[in-house]
Chain A
Amino acid sequence: MMKRLKIAAMAVAAVAVSGIAHAEDFKPAIVFDMGGKFDKSFNEAAYNGAEEFKKKSGIDYMEFEVTQVSQREQGVKRMARKGASIVVAMGFAQADAVKKAAKANPDTKFTIVDMVVDLPNVQSIVFKEHEGSFLVGMAAAMTSKTGKVGFVGGMDIPLIRKFALGYEEGAKYANPSAEVFQNMTGTTPAAWNDPTKGGELAKSQFDRGADVVYAAAGGTGIGVYQAAKDAGKFAIGVDSNQNYLHPGTMLTSMTKRVDVAVREAFESAKNGTWKAGIKVLGLKEGGVGYAIDEHNKGVLDKDIIAKLEQARADIIAGKIKVTDYMSK
């Protein structure tokens, strides 16, 4: 009885409020994938973007962190049912969840990052990680004295192979005789958060002669960067600008602006410019790139930067073709 009264009261209040409230009606929501919002990588970038939106607009957002496979659908649907104006789902694994939720809630906006879902109320944001990786691959090969560079991936999935292939092509473009060592950290999600093993893999690559190593491995990368610092070699960060972690030995970072994508999804949904469809963010759109800041100023050579800028222009102009592992 109490409950029914409460619901009735809430309904009355909702009707009463809905007349006046407009901006307050905007309820953004985000569903992080496994790994959680503090994974120092992909999900954390999304979290930063959402926080930035909150700071700028003063509007709080609803969030959920997936810990079980079946929670993806539950989480996305739940957000829609709680009246979210837009639901941002992080990661390719949420595609099925978004598909089902979007069909069931045709009036709710959905944005999925790293995957394409073709529905009239879904915006799909994908990145050209291979283009950014190509540039840092060039930087690695041009900085390397031994002509050998390394790559440490997280879990062995196509997305990470996309990073690896772009990196390898970039290295070979800059130095056709460059040798690229590739190692994946593992075959389970634990591979995203295993700095110890990341460090060991980096060390073994250093032992084989590599002197620059690129990590696309989430939290595992922390161990890779530390190993590079300890050995006096160079490391390349990923996703966020990680140059600040070890100034001096961080050559650069391949930035994938997940934070911007999330913030823009929220903002555009708020001011009505949100559009369904596929958004591909590459070098041209500034969605990927390499980071230069005060922490790696002296590390990345001026000539190299000039060459990278040239290559960036060539890729955008289509003069250099970088292979996308996914469409191979």
Chain B
Amino acid sequence: MAEAKAKFGAPAKVPAWVNLGLIPFINLLAAFFISGLVILIIGDNPLKALEVLIYGAFGYPEAIGYTLYYTTNFIFTGLAVAIAFHCGLFNIGAEGQAFISGLGVGLAALYLDFLPFWMVIPIAILAAALFGAIWAYVPGYLQAKRGSHVVITTIMFNFIAFSIMNYTLVEILISKEAGGSPETREFAENTWLALAPDFTGMADSPLNFSFIIALALSVAFYYFVWHTRWGYEIRVVGQNETAAKYAGISPARNIILAMTISGALAGFVAVNELLGVHHKVIMEFTGGFGFVGIAVALMGRNHPVGIFMAALLFGAIYQGGTELAFEMQSINKEMVIVIQGLIILFSGALEHMFRPKIESFFRRAATAKAVEA
């Protein structure tokens, strides 16, 4: 082990807490610092803003409920983007896959609601996964067999999904009672997912059973990617397609598989939003979660634990940002987007800015210790 550490060009061996804790923390600090400057420029108190942001995200039970509700969506889309990343694919169609899954949820919940809840809910969840999977299967197939790049096809499939959903909601599924608002009738109560129980104090927030599903899927994701042959094959294709072929692994099969799973995972956003919160199919329920999922997967290094942490961070920023808009009138929605953008910039895009310095510091410290000993 000692020789491996000293090898030239080997990745820096720094304590894990530095890699996973300190560096993200410093990135976050830098982002907050710049945000603070911006807030100072518009003439408000940055420390108060930070306090409101944190209080708004974690300060009282309902806030935590909202934070975890956003987190749930980000876990789903983060995992969706991550599984595609493991196969070397860039799925930017999670938004459309989630949206079209709303149709699956809707059809199941609207037309099968005579079934008892323990039948209709699983069917609706499966329908969500199935619709998302189909929507991602097509770009996956085109990539694998025809060489059409998934970045292009998935983003175009977003628009097709929006148009299909717009058409079905305005022309077909629209409810007579909705007074012209493009939405379906309310689902029957037996299809609703359980909200957070009363004793948590979060019953007034949209947090629901989907959060448990998200945690379960995270565990399943870990097991699938690192402990099954399928996951192994997907990773091999992602790292080296030629080597995969040489080893007898079919890249085409795995590209399609990874994309299908990716779409199915994205589809769970519809479960959280429609079965858990709105109880009807509405427009715009995906709210950009699919796109933020890309940032979540990047920040979380495509690992379920990292994705959970990143999703929690984004959830906190979303909910804390809402609180900011409420409590500080000088901070409007554009300002909140600036703060969110800076955090993404520093912890995602500029991730390597501080890393070399910090790593070399700890390496030097480690060497000094070794010499002393």
Task: Decide if A157 touches B326 in the complex (CB within 8 Å).
Answer: no
Q: How many residues of B contact A (CB 8 A)?
A: 33
Task: Decide if B322 touches A92 in the complex (CB within 8 Å).
Answer: no
Task: Decide if B179 touches A70 in the complex (CB within 8 Å).
Answer: no
B305 at the interface (CB under 8 A from A): no
A157 CA to B180 CA in the complex, in Å? 8
Task: Decide if B322 touches A93 in the complex (CB within 8 Å).
Answer: no
Task: Decide if B166 touches A92 in the complex (CB within 8 Å).
Answer: no
Task: Decide if A188 touches B180 in the complex (CB within 8 Å).
Answer: no
A279 at the interface (CB under 8 A from B): no
CB proximity of B220 to chain A, nearest CB, Å: 26
Task: Decide if A95 touches B206 in the complex (CB within 8 Å).
Answer: no
Which of B167, B179, B284 makes the CB contact (< 8 A) with A189?
B284
- Chain B residues, CB < 8 A from A67: 333, 336
A177 at the interface (CB under 8 A from B): no
Task: Name which residue of chain B comes closest to A78, CB basis.
Answer: B326
B285 at the interface (CB under 8 A from A): yes
Task: Decide if A65 touches B180 in the complex (CB within 8 Å).
Answer: no
Task: Decide if B282 touches A187 in the complex (CB within 8 Å).
Answer: no
- Chain A residues, CB < 8 A from B282: 69, 93
Contact with B along A42-65 (1 / 0, CB 8 A): 000000000000000000000111
Task: Decide if A157 touches B333 in the complex (CB within 8 Å).
Answer: no
B356 at the interface (CB under 8 A from A): no
- Chain A residues, CB < 8 A from B278: 69, 96
Contact with A along B325-351 (1 / 0, CB 8 A): 110010011001000000000000000
Task: Decide if B287 touches A188 in the complex (CB within 8 Å).
Answer: no
Given contacts A68-B287, A70-B206, A74-B66, contact A157 B325 (CB under 8 A): no
Task: Name which residue of chain B comes closest to A95, CB basis.
Answer: B181
Task: Decide if B174 touches A68 in the complex (CB within 8 Å).
Answer: no
Task: Name which residue of chain A comes closest to B169, CB basis.
Answer: A157
B141 at the interface (CB under 8 A from A): no
CB proximity of A113 to chain B, nearest CB, Å: 13
CB proximity of B99 to chain A, nearest CB, Å: 10
B318 at the interface (CB under 8 A from A): yes
Given contacts A34-B284, A70-B206, A158-B174, contact A65 B325 (CB under 8 A): yes
B217 at the interface (CB under 8 A from A): no
- Chain B residues, CB < 8 A from A162: 180
Task: Decide if A188 touches B162 in the complex (CB within 8 Å).
Answer: yes
Task: Decide if A187 touches B180 in the complex (CB within 8 Å).
Answer: no
A64 CA to B332 CA in the complex, in Å? 8
A75 CA to B322 CA in the complex, in Å? 9
B53 at the interface (CB under 8 A from A): no
Task: Decide if A156 touches B333 in the complex (CB within 8 Å).
Answer: no
Task: Decide if B180 touches A64 in the complex (CB within 8 Å).
Answer: no
A77 CA to B206 CA in the complex, in Å? 13
A196 at the interface (CB under 8 A from B): no
Task: Decide if A326 touches B179 in the complex (CB within 8 Å).
Answer: yes
A70 CA to B279 CA in the complex, in Å? 12
Task: Name which residue of chain B comes closest to A34, CB basis.
Answer: B284
Most buried by B among A93, A115, A158, A162: A158
Most buried by B among A34, A67, A93: A67
Task: Name which residue of chain A comes closest to B336, CB basis.
Answer: A67
- Chain A residues, CB < 8 A from B148: none
Task: Decide if A158 touches B180 in the complex (CB within 8 Å).
Answer: yes
Task: Decide if B181 touches A68 in the complex (CB within 8 Å).
Answer: no
Task: Name which residue of chain A comes closest to B277, CB basis.
Answer: A70
A71 at the interface (CB under 8 A from B): yes
B132 at the interface (CB under 8 A from A): no
A311 at the interface (CB under 8 A from B): no
Q: Name A152-176 residues within 8 Å CB distance of B.
A: 155-159, 162
Most buried by A among B166, B206, B273: B166
Q: Name A88-134 residues within 8 Å CB distance of B.
A: 92-93, 95-96, 115-116
A116 CA to B179 CA in the complex, in Å? 7
Task: Name which residue of chain B comes closest to A63, CB basis.
Answer: B329
B69 at the interface (CB under 8 A from A): yes
Which of A95, A115, A158 makes the CB contact (< 8 A) with B170?
A158
Which 7 A-B pairs have CB atoms at the shortest separation, nearest pair first?
A: A187-B166, A158-B180, A326-B180, A92-B181, A187-B163, A65-B333, A188-B162
- 26 A–B contacts from the bound complex (CB under 8 Å): A36-B333, A64-B325, A65-B333, A67-B336, A68-B318, A69-B273, A70-B69, A71-B322, A73-B206, A75-B326, A77-B204, A78-B326, A82-B326, A92-B179, A92-B180, A93-B181, A95-B181, A96-B278, A115-B181, A157-B283, A158-B180, A158-B181, A158-B182, A162-B180, A189-B284, A326-B179
